Structure 1
């Protein structure tokens, strides 16, 4: 995997994940990093919650929409 490794940045978030789930989460953010987006801890934690089945995809999408709406436009 090239680019960003969120499991190295916030290893405590990954403690309860097995290798397959850890790789899934890392791959999400490695791909996003290539587009220029750098995640924060909260974004990583939410994807982990989705991966573990603790939140539904619909809830995850609502949270992301709210997060995006709260970001001021760049100039």
Structure 2
């Protein structure tokens, strides 16, 4: 990803968020992107679901761990 266009990539994930939630998610992802992390759809979907209150912190962490485990599997092959 050469430009940070996260909302344009998956606009449907941001639709349920209010302005405060949207800003928090975008800033969180932008900070990670500036550090070299390219957010995947799974990461964005997990974070937006948490920000919108559709999942709790425990479920957010469980999903994050599963996403990381999948990513580790892709990099070790």
TM-score, length-scaled by structure 1: 0.81
Query: Aligned-residue CA RMSD in angstroms?
Result: 1.8
What CA distance in whole angstroms lies between the structure 1 residues aligned with 2:62 and 2:21? 22
Matched residue SS, 2:53:
coil
Find runs of 4+ consecutive structure 1 residues off by over 4 angstroms.
none
Tell whether the 8 Å contact from 2:16 to 2:52 is kept in structure 1 after alignment.
no
TM-score, normalized by length of structure 2? 0.79
Which ranges of structure 1 fall in alignment gaps of 5 or more residues? none
Q: Which has the higher helix share?
A: 2
Q: Distance in 1 between matches of 2:58 and 2:49?
A: 13
Provide Cα deviations, 1:2-27, integer angstroms capped at 9, x if missing partner.
x6231122112211211111101101
2:55 match: secondary structure: coil
Counterpart in the other structure of 1:40: 40
Displacement of 1:74: 5.6
**2:6–2:26 CA contact under 8 A, matched in 1:** yes
Please list every run of 5 or more consecutive structure 2 residues that lacks an aligned counterpart in the other structure: none
